[in-house]
Amino acid sequence: MVWYMNLTDEQISKIFELASMENKILSKDITSNDITEALIEIESKLYSFTSGIKITSFEDKKILIADDLELSIYQLSTILKKIGINPCIARHKSDAISEIQKVNYDCIIIDLFMPESSDGLDLIKEAMLRKDENNKDTKIVVISGTDDNNLVEQCYELGIDLFIQKDKDWHSKLLKYMGSAFQSEKSLSYSRYVIDNKITAFILKKFNDEKVFNALIKNINSSVITGIKHVLFDLREITSFDTENAYIFAEIYKICAENKGKFVLANPSNDIKEALSFAYLKDIIPITTSIEEAVRIINLDEHN
Protein backbone atom coordinates (compact mmCIF):
# COMPACT_ATOMS: atom_id res chain seq x y z
CA MET A 1 0.00 0.00 0.00
CA VAL A 2 1.26 3.51 -0.88
CA TRP A 3 2.29 5.34 2.29
CA TYR A 4 -0.12 8.27 1.91
CA MET A 5 -3.10 5.92 1.96
CA ASN A 6 -2.38 5.55 5.67
CA LEU A 7 -2.63 9.30 6.33
CA THR A 8 -5.31 10.61 8.65
CA ASP A 9 -7.88 13.20 7.50
CA GLU A 10 -5.97 15.80 9.55
CA GLN A 11 -2.69 15.00 7.81
CA ILE A 12 -4.31 15.10 4.36
CA SER A 13 -5.83 18.49 5.19
CA LYS A 14 -2.39 19.72 6.26
CA ILE A 15 -0.86 18.59 2.96
CA PHE A 16 -3.44 20.55 0.94
CA GLU A 17 -2.99 23.56 3.25
CA LEU A 18 0.80 23.54 2.71
CA ALA A 19 0.25 23.26 -1.04
CA SER A 20 -2.23 26.20 -0.99
CA MET A 21 -4.92 23.84 -2.30
CA GLU A 22 -7.45 24.39 0.51
CA ASN A 23 -10.32 23.93 -1.94
CA LYS A 24 -9.53 20.21 -2.00
CA ILE A 25 -10.06 19.91 1.76
CA LEU A 26 -13.82 20.24 1.28
CA SER A 27 -13.94 17.65 -1.48
CA LYS A 28 -15.28 14.20 -0.67
CA ASP A 29 -13.63 12.63 -3.72
CA ILE A 30 -9.93 13.10 -3.00
CA THR A 31 -7.82 10.79 -5.15
CA SER A 32 -4.20 9.66 -4.96
CA ASN A 33 -3.53 11.96 -7.93
CA ASP A 34 -4.77 14.94 -5.88
CA ILE A 35 -2.34 14.09 -3.08
CA THR A 36 0.52 13.59 -5.54
CA GLU A 37 -0.24 16.97 -7.13
CA ALA A 38 -0.19 18.58 -3.67
CA LEU A 39 3.13 16.95 -2.79
CA ILE A 40 4.69 18.20 -6.03
CA GLU A 41 3.48 21.72 -5.21
CA ILE A 42 4.95 21.46 -1.70
CA GLU A 43 8.26 20.29 -3.17
CA SER A 44 8.32 23.28 -5.49
CA LYS A 45 7.71 25.61 -2.54
CA LEU A 46 10.36 23.91 -0.44
CA TYR A 47 12.96 24.58 -3.10
CA SER A 48 12.43 28.32 -2.68
CA PHE A 49 13.82 28.06 0.85
CA THR A 50 17.29 27.53 -0.64
CA SER A 51 17.12 30.89 -2.42
CA GLY A 52 19.87 33.22 -1.30
CA ILE A 53 21.43 30.62 1.02
CA LYS A 54 25.03 29.63 0.37
CA ILE A 55 25.07 25.85 0.33
CA THR A 56 28.06 23.56 0.57
CA SER A 57 28.34 20.28 -1.33
CA PHE A 58 27.19 17.68 1.22
CA GLU A 59 27.30 14.50 -0.88
CA ASP A 60 29.68 12.77 1.55
CA LYS A 61 27.66 13.61 4.68
CA LYS A 62 25.70 10.93 6.54
CA ILE A 63 22.44 12.32 7.88
CA LEU A 64 19.83 10.52 9.96
CA ILE A 65 16.21 11.68 10.25
CA ALA A 66 14.39 10.22 13.26
CA ASP A 67 10.70 11.08 12.81
CA ASP A 68 7.40 9.20 12.94
CA LEU A 69 5.31 11.59 10.82
CA GLU A 70 5.33 10.88 7.07
CA LEU A 71 4.63 14.49 6.10
CA SER A 72 7.61 15.73 8.13
CA ILE A 73 9.79 12.98 6.67
CA TYR A 74 8.72 14.01 3.17
CA GLN A 75 9.50 17.68 3.81
CA LEU A 76 12.88 16.99 5.43
CA SER A 77 13.92 14.49 2.77
CA THR A 78 12.96 16.88 -0.02
CA ILE A 79 14.94 19.74 1.49
CA LEU A 80 18.05 17.63 2.08
CA LYS A 81 17.98 16.01 -1.35
CA LYS A 82 18.00 19.49 -2.88
CA ILE A 83 21.47 20.03 -1.40
CA GLY A 84 22.78 16.63 -2.38
CA ILE A 85 21.97 14.59 0.73
CA ASN A 86 20.16 11.26 0.61
CA PRO A 87 19.25 10.88 4.29
CA CYS A 88 18.63 7.69 6.23
CA ILE A 89 15.10 7.51 7.71
CA ALA A 90 14.13 5.97 11.06
CA ARG A 91 10.40 6.00 11.73
CA HIS A 92 10.52 4.35 15.14
CA LYS A 93 12.60 4.92 18.26
CA SER A 94 14.05 1.41 18.13
CA ASP A 95 15.09 1.85 14.47
CA ALA A 96 16.71 5.19 15.26
CA ILE A 97 18.70 3.73 18.18
CA SER A 98 19.84 0.86 15.95
CA GLU A 99 21.05 3.32 13.28
CA ILE A 100 22.83 5.52 15.80
CA GLN A 101 24.63 2.49 17.22
CA LYS A 102 25.86 1.12 13.91
CA VAL A 103 26.57 4.24 11.80
CA ASN A 104 28.82 7.20 12.59
CA TYR A 105 26.49 10.01 11.44
CA ASP A 106 27.58 13.59 10.71
CA CYS A 107 24.19 14.97 11.70
CA ILE A 108 21.15 13.50 13.45
CA ILE A 109 17.81 15.30 13.10
CA ILE A 110 15.37 14.23 15.82
CA ASP A 111 11.63 14.79 16.12
CA LEU A 112 11.18 15.26 19.87
CA PHE A 113 7.80 13.49 20.03
CA MET A 114 8.21 9.91 18.68
CA PRO A 115 5.42 9.77 19.74
CA GLU A 116 6.19 10.91 23.31
CA SER A 117 8.79 13.50 24.34
CA SER A 118 10.47 10.83 26.47
CA ASP A 119 11.27 8.94 23.25
CA GLY A 120 12.99 11.96 21.75
CA LEU A 121 14.95 12.58 24.93
CA ASP A 122 16.08 8.94 24.94
CA LEU A 123 17.31 9.34 21.36
CA ILE A 124 19.27 12.47 22.30
CA LYS A 125 20.95 10.58 25.14
CA GLU A 126 21.87 7.71 22.82
CA ALA A 127 23.18 10.10 20.17
CA MET A 128 25.31 11.93 22.74
CA LEU A 129 26.68 8.62 24.05
CA ARG A 130 27.76 7.50 20.58
CA LYS A 131 29.13 10.96 19.79
CA ASP A 132 31.45 10.72 22.81
CA GLU A 133 32.40 7.09 22.10
CA ASN A 134 33.25 7.81 18.45
CA ASN A 135 35.01 11.08 19.27
CA LYS A 136 33.20 12.71 16.36
CA ASP A 137 31.60 16.13 16.17
CA THR A 138 28.16 14.80 15.26
CA LYS A 139 25.62 17.62 15.00
CA ILE A 140 22.40 16.89 16.88
CA VAL A 141 19.36 18.95 15.83
CA VAL A 142 15.92 18.67 17.42
CA ILE A 143 12.82 19.86 15.56
CA SER A 144 9.49 20.19 17.35
CA GLY A 145 6.32 22.24 17.48
CA THR A 146 6.32 22.29 21.29
CA ASP A 147 6.31 25.59 23.17
CA ASP A 148 7.27 23.90 26.45
CA ASN A 149 10.38 25.80 27.55
CA ASN A 150 11.22 23.12 30.10
CA LEU A 151 11.47 20.52 27.35
CA VAL A 152 13.61 22.83 25.22
CA GLU A 153 15.96 23.40 28.18
CA GLN A 154 16.16 19.66 28.79
CA CYS A 155 17.27 19.13 25.21
CA TYR A 156 20.05 21.71 25.51
CA GLU A 157 21.11 20.33 28.88
CA LEU A 158 21.54 16.91 27.26
CA GLY A 159 23.94 18.50 24.76
CA ILE A 160 22.08 19.13 21.50
CA ASP A 161 23.51 21.66 19.05
CA LEU A 162 20.24 23.30 18.01
CA PHE A 163 16.51 23.24 18.79
CA ILE A 164 14.36 24.39 15.87
CA GLN A 165 10.79 25.45 16.56
CA LYS A 166 8.49 24.17 13.83
CA ASP A 167 7.29 27.53 12.53
CA LYS A 168 6.96 28.69 8.93
CA ASP A 169 10.72 29.34 8.65
CA TRP A 170 11.97 26.05 10.08
CA HIS A 171 13.15 24.82 6.66
CA SER A 172 15.49 27.77 6.07
CA LYS A 173 16.74 27.67 9.68
CA LEU A 174 17.79 24.04 9.19
CA LEU A 175 19.53 24.79 5.88
CA LYS A 176 21.35 27.81 7.27
CA TYR A 177 22.53 25.85 10.29
CA MET A 178 23.80 22.96 8.20
CA GLY A 179 25.51 25.37 5.83
CA SER A 180 27.37 27.10 8.66
CA ALA A 181 28.08 23.82 10.50
CA PHE A 182 29.85 22.22 7.55
CA GLN A 183 31.01 25.30 5.60
CA SER A 184 34.33 25.58 7.46
CA GLU A 185 35.68 22.29 6.10
CA LYS A 186 38.70 22.75 3.82
CA SER A 187 37.70 20.08 1.32
CA LEU A 188 34.86 22.11 -0.23
CA SER A 189 34.56 21.66 -3.99
CA TYR A 190 31.83 24.21 -4.61
CA SER A 191 29.02 26.17 -3.02
CA ARG A 192 25.62 26.84 -4.51
CA TYR A 193 22.96 29.51 -4.25
CA VAL A 194 19.88 30.64 -6.17
CA ILE A 195 19.49 34.04 -7.84
CA ASP A 196 16.00 35.50 -8.34
CA ASN A 197 14.54 32.00 -7.98
CA LYS A 198 15.50 31.24 -11.59
CA ILE A 199 19.30 30.82 -11.75
CA THR A 200 21.34 28.20 -9.93
CA ALA A 201 24.78 29.71 -9.38
CA PHE A 202 27.85 27.68 -8.44
CA ILE A 203 31.11 29.03 -7.02
CA LEU A 204 33.67 26.42 -8.07
CA LYS A 205 36.69 25.73 -5.86
CA LYS A 206 37.78 22.37 -7.29
CA PHE A 207 36.99 21.44 -10.87
CA ASN A 208 39.14 18.60 -12.19
CA ASP A 209 37.58 15.65 -10.44
CA GLU A 210 34.96 13.19 -11.71
CA LYS A 211 33.31 13.02 -8.28
CA VAL A 212 32.78 16.79 -8.38
CA PHE A 213 31.46 16.59 -11.95
CA ASN A 214 28.92 13.91 -10.99
CA ALA A 215 27.76 15.93 -7.97
CA LEU A 216 27.32 19.03 -10.14
CA ILE A 217 25.28 17.14 -12.73
CA LYS A 218 23.07 15.76 -9.95
CA ASN A 219 22.51 19.24 -8.49
CA ILE A 220 21.82 20.80 -11.88
CA ASN A 221 19.31 18.11 -12.84
CA SER A 222 17.58 18.65 -9.49
CA SER A 223 17.36 22.40 -10.11
CA VAL A 224 16.10 22.06 -13.66
CA ILE A 225 13.41 19.55 -12.67
CA THR A 226 12.00 22.04 -10.16
CA GLY A 227 11.90 24.84 -12.72
CA ILE A 228 15.21 26.66 -12.14
CA LYS A 229 16.52 26.08 -15.65
CA HIS A 230 19.45 28.53 -15.90
CA VAL A 231 22.96 27.69 -14.63
CA LEU A 232 25.81 30.05 -13.85
CA PHE A 233 29.40 29.01 -13.02
CA ASP A 234 31.69 31.42 -11.18
CA LEU A 235 35.16 30.09 -12.08
CA ARG A 236 37.42 32.79 -10.61
CA GLU A 237 39.11 30.32 -8.23
CA ILE A 238 39.89 27.74 -10.93
CA THR A 239 43.30 28.53 -12.40
CA SER A 240 44.06 25.25 -14.22
CA PHE A 241 41.84 22.84 -16.12
CA ASP A 242 42.51 19.70 -18.21
CA THR A 243 41.24 19.97 -21.77
CA GLU A 244 40.10 16.33 -21.69
CA ASN A 245 37.47 17.30 -19.09
CA ALA A 246 35.71 19.70 -21.46
CA TYR A 247 32.89 17.16 -21.78
CA ILE A 248 31.45 18.45 -18.47
CA PHE A 249 30.63 21.80 -20.13
CA ALA A 250 28.94 20.03 -23.05
CA GLU A 251 26.91 17.91 -20.64
CA ILE A 252 25.65 20.92 -18.66
CA TYR A 253 24.98 22.94 -21.81
CA LYS A 254 22.85 20.05 -23.11
CA ILE A 255 20.81 19.83 -19.88
CA CYS A 256 20.07 23.56 -19.93
CA ALA A 257 19.32 23.71 -23.67
CA GLU A 258 16.91 20.77 -23.51
CA ASN A 259 14.97 22.65 -20.85
CA LYS A 260 15.12 26.03 -22.63
CA GLY A 261 17.65 27.33 -20.12
CA LYS A 262 20.94 29.20 -20.40
CA PHE A 263 24.39 28.09 -19.25
CA VAL A 264 26.80 31.00 -18.61
CA LEU A 265 30.42 31.07 -17.38
CA ALA A 266 31.87 33.94 -15.34
CA ASN A 267 35.60 34.58 -14.90
CA PRO A 268 36.98 31.50 -16.72
CA SER A 269 40.79 31.03 -16.89
CA ASN A 270 42.69 30.68 -20.17
CA ASP A 271 42.85 26.92 -19.58
CA ILE A 272 39.06 26.73 -19.46
CA LYS A 273 38.73 28.91 -22.57
CA GLU A 274 41.11 26.56 -24.39
CA ALA A 275 39.06 23.57 -23.25
CA LEU A 276 35.90 25.22 -24.59
CA SER A 277 37.61 25.85 -27.95
CA PHE A 278 38.79 22.22 -28.02
CA ALA A 279 35.18 21.07 -27.56
CA TYR A 280 33.81 23.63 -30.08
CA LEU A 281 31.85 25.33 -27.29
CA LYS A 282 33.59 28.72 -27.05
CA ASP A 283 31.07 30.43 -29.33
CA ILE A 284 28.09 28.56 -27.88
CA ILE A 285 28.44 29.04 -24.11
CA PRO A 286 28.45 32.74 -23.10
CA ILE A 287 31.55 33.91 -21.20
CA THR A 288 31.53 36.97 -18.91
CA THR A 289 33.88 38.74 -16.53
CA SER A 290 31.34 39.19 -13.73
CA ILE A 291 28.31 37.58 -12.08
CA GLU A 292 26.28 40.71 -12.80
CA GLU A 293 26.98 40.47 -16.53
CA ALA A 294 26.09 36.77 -16.52
CA VAL A 295 22.74 37.50 -14.85
CA ARG A 296 22.09 40.29 -17.38
CA ILE A 297 22.69 37.89 -20.29
CA ILE A 298 20.23 35.37 -18.84
CA ASN A 299 17.60 38.05 -18.22
CA LEU A 300 17.95 39.37 -21.78
CA ASP A 301 17.61 35.85 -23.16
CA GLU A 302 14.39 35.36 -21.19
CA HIS A 303 12.86 38.53 -22.62
CA ASN A 304 13.73 37.68 -26.24
Q: What is the pLDDT of residues 125-136, one digit of tens each?
A: 999 998 888 777
Structure-model confidence comparison of residues 227 and 303, the more confident one: 227
Q: What is the pLDDT of residues 23-39, one digit of tens each?
A: 766 666 777 767 767 76
CATH number at residue 86: 3.40.50.2300
How far apart (Å, rounded) are the C-alpha atoms in residues 191 and 180? 12
* pLDDT band with cut points at 50, 70 and 90 for residue 4: very low
Select from 183, 209, 242 the last residue of a domain.
Answer: 183
Which residue range forms the structural domain that includes residue 219?
190-303
Would you put residue 197 in left (φ > 0), alpha (ψ -120 to 50) or beta? left
Model pLDDT, residue 84: 67
Regarding whether 111 and 209 lie in a shared domain, the answer is no
Report the SS3 class of residue 62.
Answer: coil
Cis peptide bond upstream of 115, omega within 30: yes
Closest by Cα among 74, 120, 70, 130 to 100: 130
Regarding whether 171 and 98 lie in a shared domain, the answer is yes
* pLDDT band with cut points at 50, 70 and 90 for residue 255: very high
Regarding whether 283 and 264 lie in a shared domain, the answer is yes
What percentage of the chain has pLDDT greater than the value 90? 35
Regarding whether 69 and 40 lie in a shared domain, the answer is no
Structure-model confidence comparison of residues 82 and 115, the more confident one: 115
Regarding whether 271 and 212 lie in a shared domain, the answer is yes
Mean pLDDT of 260-279: 92
Select from 148, 183, 218 the last residue of a domain.
Answer: 183
* pLDDT band with cut points at 50, 70 and 90 for residue 239: confident
Model pLDDT, residue 82: 66
Task: Output DSSP code: residue 284.
Answer: T
Residue 247 pLDDT greater than 70, yes or no? yes
Residue 61 pLDDT greater than 90, yes or no? no
Regarding whether 274 and 206 lie in a shared domain, the answer is yes
Regarding whether 5 and 66 lie in a shared domain, the answer is no
Regarding whether 290 and 207 lie in a shared domain, the answer is yes
Regarding whether 106 and 74 lie in a shared domain, the answer is yes
Bridge pairing between strands 190-195 and 199-204: antiparallel
CA 114, 119, 121, 126 dihedral sign is negative
CATH number at residue 238: 3.30.750.24
Regarding whether 212 and 201 lie in a shared domain, the answer is yes
* pLDDT band with cut points at 50, 70 and 90 for residue 2: very low
152: which residues sit within 8 A by CB, 6+ positions away? 146, 163
Regarding whether 110 and 196 lie in a shared domain, the answer is no
Least confident of 101-115, 167-181, 212-226: 167-181
Please tell me the pTM assigned to this model.
Answer: 0.51
What percentage of the chain has pLDDT greater than the value 70? 80
- 54: exposed, middle or buried (C-beta count within 10 Å: 0-12, 13-18, 19+)? middle
132: which residues sit within 8 A by CB, 6+ positions away? none
Q: Which helix (H) or strand (E) holds 193?
A: strand 190-195
- In 10 A of CB 163, how many CB atoms? 19
Least confident of 106-115, 184-193, 223-232, 247-256: 184-193
Select from 163, 183, 203 the last residue of a domain.
Answer: 183
Number of structural domains (the chain) is 3
Report the SS3 class of residue 264.
Answer: strand
Regarding whether 148 and 238 lie in a shared domain, the answer is no
Residue 73 pLDDT greater than 60, yes or no? yes
Q: What is the pLDDT of residues 142-170, one digit of tens each?
A: 999 888 889 999 999 999 999 998 877 78
